[in-house]
A and B are shown apart, each in its own frame.
Chain A
């Protein structure tokens, strides 16, 4: 082929511009530390890096949710533990009181302490975590446990509805008074409202316990037993009680049975321990989940870095090469373009 000066000049320009382009690519990658700036440079790597980036953002959020869940459940766990301690103390006091040698003054002291413990239980039932009442189901804005008036006394209510309407009532009250009070009050139904935190793509963590389950409802529930106990300590031997098994309900008189009280208190303690175990195992699985999320974050960070970060060692070699080729092309060009036959005539 006939080769002319214009051809050489043209190809020198193309080659130098090619080399400069290559050097620019390497420089850009080195200075930004990233292999791709736009998806078109490597659509597959770009789509992967976007995917990994999203996983990481999401996992970080799950990790935060796991921590929040842990906070909520830890508070729950320690509240239930305090409740168990109180019930244990009540049990001790009951055994102590169930002794004929005790004077009525001694019993009054025990009654006073049990009254304080009952208040304490109510406070524990209204524990909050960051302003949210943890035993309140969905309605976390208001304290779930309140006292409502019961013919001169009071009964514990959960979200405005009494935990127990059947008694005990003071035996001095008339049946008519008891029934008319009974008929205007409501008890339940208590629904379980589970609060779930999203802690992975498909799973959620149930963080809450519902108050009515912790304290129980009905005549053998924790609070009712404490009422029985205090009646007993007040020196009464019988009480009135609304029998719901017949329609319409009727008022019956019953003897106070201390052994039954002790048995029911043990049942309440068992329920609390069961709840504590339940929360404890949720905390454990939540902790494991948190650890798994952290190791996933690490894995995806590595994958992300592999997909989009520039490999500096490789780039250094590529840059040295690009510079060398560029310089060589400049030197060669200066030698090729200059001379013609004219220089030698």
Chain B
């Protein structure tokens, strides 16, 4: 036999239950547009009813937990894709910045300026005694050197910016790991106090999302011991070293290791407690490090140092072959600028120099020809001021006082066309290949960035499919809960009437 008030008590419970469910549903609907919000569901126990020994025992359903839709699997996939994508997107962006500085196709970069220099050399060949043509030659060679210097300066400033980015990314990682660790603390305490920690977990996931754009990360759930207690917590590690474990996070600090192109200190992120360098393979931080440091050696990444070295080597080889001549394929020595004679009958001047040094200062820099030319870089290559101030010193002739002898200029033109100075290509082809190597590298990064983006979009979709709010679902549920609430209220009303009738009978 059932007790008098069991019916009304049951209905009361179910009223509360429906109300609770409606509260969760409206929370879900309110957060349908909140980034990182995971849909919540009320876990309810089954209400049972049985008759034992003529006694009816009944139970209302009860909300025992508010479960959050969460999957570590999708998160892990998402974070991997996110660090992959942000690596390639950042690397591409950095290199596009460098490419823009080359101005290859808009007619203002070093390739078009070099073309201008070659054209003025060719022009002088028909009128080696023409001062106007000589002045043009000096102008165009100076412009070319200036453009090359400017490009090198730009590469250096790009590298400095990347050095700052390394610093910013490292600061961000430290800040994020600190916040994640402190959320771990709050989640642990919340759980102990049986509070709803779902919002904190969502917030933590958002922070980890952000962290995954900066570096590649590994996620584990570990048991963390506190005294004799232990509790479950997330552990985030970078390259096998824990960044955050429970309440504790490891700091990353920057040490100066090596130099940038302009001899400023180069920052290297290391673990503060061990001093070991970070072993990272993805994310913005890795992209900044690669674009800043990649010299292309042993098939490595081609970052700014690679292009700088290529420009330096070109400038050095070109200046040397132009000034001193070169050995042709058949073993014969083709003479250079220093061997020829100017209109004024003088000889022995180097045409290209570094830092605007005159002939004596230039050759006094090194004990051998090769060590002298080591001083020439893309940043400092310039035209010998003795020639730029007096273009009649340009040595077009192979003999003294023969103004129309342009045989030495022919030697220089042969050098330019020859494949013997720059391996298997001409000077110009070799210069262009620097810009096309960069172009091909950007194209590859773009392909990688696009394909990693579609991976990222796929995992974003999967994750949203698992965790995001469907307003249709929630509306349907809201209807159901509302009806359940209405029905429970009705039940109470009925029981109320029944009890009233019963009491009335007693009283009557």
Contact with A along B287-331 (1 / 0, CB 8 A): 000000000000000000000000000000000000000000000
On whether the beta carbons of B439 and A39 are closer than 8 Å, the reply is yes
Q: Using a CB-CB cutoff of 8 Å, which residues 131-156 of chain A contact chain B? A: 132, 136-141
Contact with A along B108-140 (1 / 0, CB 8 A): 000100010011001101110100000000000
On whether the beta carbons of A4 and B99 are closer than 8 Å, the reply is no
User: Smallest distance from the beta carbon of A230 to chain B beta carbons, Å?
Assistant: 34
Q: Using a CB-CB cutoff of 8 Å, which residues 421-447 of chain B contact chain A? A: 428-429, 432-433, 435-436, 438-443, 446
Bound-state Cα–Cα, A41 to B95, Å: 13
> Which residues of A line the B interface, CB within 8 A?
1-7, 9-11, 14, 34, 36-43, 46-47, 49-51, 53-54, 57-58, 60-62, 64-65, 68-69, 130, 132, 136-141, 193, 195-198, 201, 204, 308, 340-342, 345
**Stretch among B194-202, B377-385, B466-474 lining the A interface:** B466-474
On whether the beta carbons of A138 and B402 are closer than 8 Å, the reply is yes
User: Smallest distance from the beta carbon of A333 to chain B beta carbons, Å?
Assistant: 16
- Interface of B (DSSP majority class): helix
Residues from chain A with a CB closer than 8 A to the CB of B435 are: 39, 46, 50
In the complex, which of the residues A5, A137, A198 contacts B413, with contact meaning CB atoms closer than 8 Å? A198
Bound-state Cα–Cα, A199 to B446, Å: 43
Contact with A along B445-475 (1 / 0, CB 8 A): 0100000000001001100111011111001
On whether the beta carbons of B410 and A43 are closer than 8 Å, the reply is no
Bound-state Cα–Cα, A65 to B115, Å: 17
Residues from chain B with a CB closer than 8 A to the CB of A41 are: 439, 443
On whether the beta carbons of B471 and A140 are closer than 8 Å, the reply is no
Residues from chain B with a CB closer than 8 A to the CB of A195 are: 404-406
On whether the beta carbons of B402 and A40 are closer than 8 Å, the reply is no
Bound-state Cα–Cα, A102 to B222, Å: 133
Closest B-chain residue to A69, C-beta based?
A: B126
On whether the beta carbons of A57 and B115 are closer than 8 Å, the reply is yes
Residues from chain A with a CB closer than 8 A to the CB of B471 are: 5, 340-342
B258 at the interface (CB under 8 A from A): no
Closest B-chain residue to A43, C-beta based?
A: B439
B479 at the interface (CB under 8 A from A): yes
Residues from chain B with a CB closer than 8 A to the CB of A136 are: 404
B255 at the interface (CB under 8 A from A): no
In the complex, which of the residues A4, A43, A58, A141 contacts B470, with contact meaning CB atoms closer than 8 Å? A4
Q: A6-B33, A49-B105, A342-B475 are in contact. Are A43 and B126 (CB under 8 A)?
A: no
B348 at the interface (CB under 8 A from A): no
Interface centre among B33, B96, B115 (most CB of A within 10 A): B115
Residues from chain A with a CB closer than 8 A to the CB of B438 are: 39-40
Other than the given A9-B33, A38-B96, A345-B479, 12 more pairs (CB < 8 A) read A3-B470, A5-B470, A6-B32, A38-B104, A39-B99, A39-B105, A39-B436, A40-B439, A43-B440, A62-B122, A340-B471, A342-B475
On whether the beta carbons of B464 and A1 are closer than 8 Å, the reply is no
Closest A-chain residue to B100, C-beta based?
A: A38
User: Smallest distance from the beta carbon of A54 to chain B beta carbons, Å?
Assistant: 6
B401 at the interface (CB under 8 A from A): yes
